[in-house]
Chains A and B, each alone.
Chain A
């Protein structure tokens, strides 16, 4: 920490008076790219991001079980609302996949990605800043938006890309699917195939860093605005981050859907 500035903050020091850095030093959580460990289960670390991801999963599982119990041909309010959302998602998937049967087949993976990221992002926005825990002499927040941790976004990106390739291989056959990447038809296709293969790994990076960057930036923005002007001013930013949370969940799931749509089609059709 130099001149009283937190190391993680990339704000030019000459713009901020020294008194502010004093308050930042003493009253604001240190901004860290890595999620903070809050406890261990054996040798297994549990970070605040993983903790909130677990809570998000539990919330969604509870919601699923409640809805499952109340499912009926004549829907109630909750079922009606969720059916409306599912119907809209299916319509959107139809426009990409072009077939309702395929949309219904791939709804669970796309729907789960969307719901999980959305719930995680929105739970991360809840003003639970007062919940803190001391770990290794540091006071760290108990909860952190899961997508503000690269482990969450990379894990989701890996699952997404692998799911796309596995489902593509199942849909059109492994040999046909691999021929998208490895072909000796002519040198150009071979080169393009190799680029496609590399792009699959690039997708993981792009998926994970896009989501991480947006959510982490939102967290930092909210923390700084909330620290500088705690009353009223953070409200528009909270709304903005609510919207960003939705949009990022939507983008992640839609990109997965588009890649899935390309993967489950024949090679010729995809080109």
Chain B
């Protein structure tokens, strides 16, 4: 057996050397290559998984925000529509009220203007009566002072003239 081993070149010292060589290599590669590499790969895998998870969450949140935005926009549109509608109603009722008030005020003004005109007319009439009385009194006085015959004609024409002038004056006022 030992002759066979010798012929094949098998030597326990060389076997041991080769074995130790391999075991040293195994130790170095395990601690300096495979474990750090697996650690880095695992770390990257976790980061990628985390990235995917966060991305998915962000996407979900974005969708939720979009939905919320739509809802808020809908609500805002509805509120704005209601506000506009209410404003229109308020404005309409306000305008009606203002118109009604304006109409009433105009009526009052007209009424007041009518009363003023009536009063002035009465005042003018009273003034006319007063003037007429004065005129008649003056005419009577003149008539008494003059010859009845002459006076009659002159008196009549004078009275007529004066009445006519009074009438013109009255119509002007």
Contacts of A86 in B (CB 8 A): 34, 37-38, 41
Contact between B13 and A45, CB atoms less than 8 A apart: yes
State how many angstroms separate the Cβ of A48 from the closest Cβ of chain B. 11
Contact between B47 and A108, CB atoms less than 8 A apart: no
Contact between B33 and A68, CB atoms less than 8 A apart: yes
Contacts of A65 in B (CB 8 A): 32
Interface check A102, CB cutoff 8 A: no
Contacts of A150 in B (CB 8 A): 8-10
Contact between B29 and A156, CB atoms less than 8 A apart: no
Contacts of A64 in B (CB 8 A): 28-29, 32-33
A71 in complex: contacting residue of B23, B24, B25, B40, CB < 8 Å: B40
Interface check B35, CB cutoff 8 A: yes
Contact between B22 and A116, CB atoms less than 8 A apart: yes
Name the CB-closest residue of A to B26: A112
Contact between B32 and A68, CB atoms less than 8 A apart: yes
B21 in complex: contacting residue of A50, A71, A149, CB < 8 Å: A50
Contacts of A33 in B (CB 8 A): 7-9
Q: Give the complex CA separation of A35 and B17 in angstroms.
A: 14
A50 in complex: contacting residue of B18, B23, B26, CB < 8 Å: B18
Contact between B18 and A109, CB atoms less than 8 A apart: no
Contact between B37 and A72, CB atoms less than 8 A apart: no
Contacts of A61 in B (CB 8 A): 25, 28-29, 32
Contact between A108 and B9, CB atoms less than 8 A apart: no
Interface check A25, CB cutoff 8 A: no
B26 in complex: contacting residue of A73, A108, A152, CB < 8 Å: A108
Contact between A35 and B38, CB atoms less than 8 A apart: no
Interface check B43, CB cutoff 8 A: yes
Interface check A14, CB cutoff 8 A: no
Q: Give the complex CA separation of A149 and B18 in angstroms.
A: 10
Count of chain A residues near B, Cβ 8 A: 45
In terms of DSSP, what is the predominant structure of the interface of chain B?
helix
State how many angstroms separate the Cβ of B1 from the closest Cβ of chain A. 13
Contacts of B32 in A (CB 8 A): 61, 64-65, 68
Count of chain B residues near A, Cβ 8 A: 33
Contact between A83 and B41, CB atoms less than 8 A apart: yes
Name the CB-closest residue of A to B18: A155
Contact between B18 and A146, CB atoms less than 8 A apart: yes
Contact between B29 and A71, CB atoms less than 8 A apart: no
Interface check B11, CB cutoff 8 A: yes
Name the CB-closest residue of B to A32: B9
Contact between B18 and A151, CB atoms less than 8 A apart: yes
A44-B29 CB under 8 A given contacts A73-B47, A149-B9, A156-B22: no
Q: Give the complex CA separation of A34 and B5 in angstroms.
A: 10
Interface check A111, CB cutoff 8 A: yes
B25 in complex: contacting residue of A47, A79, A104, A112, CB < 8 Å: A112
Contacts of A151 in B (CB 8 A): 9-11, 14-15, 17-18
Contact between A82 and B13, CB atoms less than 8 A apart: no
Interface check A67, CB cutoff 8 A: yes
47-93 of chain A: CB within 8 A of chain B: 47, 50, 53-54, 57, 60-61, 63-65, 67-68, 71-73, 79, 82-83, 86-87
Could you write out 13 A-B pairs with CB less than 8 Å apart?
A34-B8, A45-B13, A46-B17, A61-B25, A67-B33, A68-B33, A86-B34, A107-B38, A146-B18, A149-B9, A151-B9, A151-B15, A155-B22
- Chain A positions near chain B (C-beta within 8 angstroms): 32-35, 44-47, 50, 53-54, 57, 60-61, 63-65, 67-68, 71-73, 79, 82-83, 86-87, 104, 107-109, 111-112, 115-116, 146, 149-152, 154-156, 158-159
Known: A60-B29, A86-B41, A149-B9. 11 other contacts (CB 8 A): A34-B9, A57-B25, A71-B36, A86-B34, A112-B26, A112-B30, A149-B18, A151-B9, A152-B18, A155-B22, A159-B19
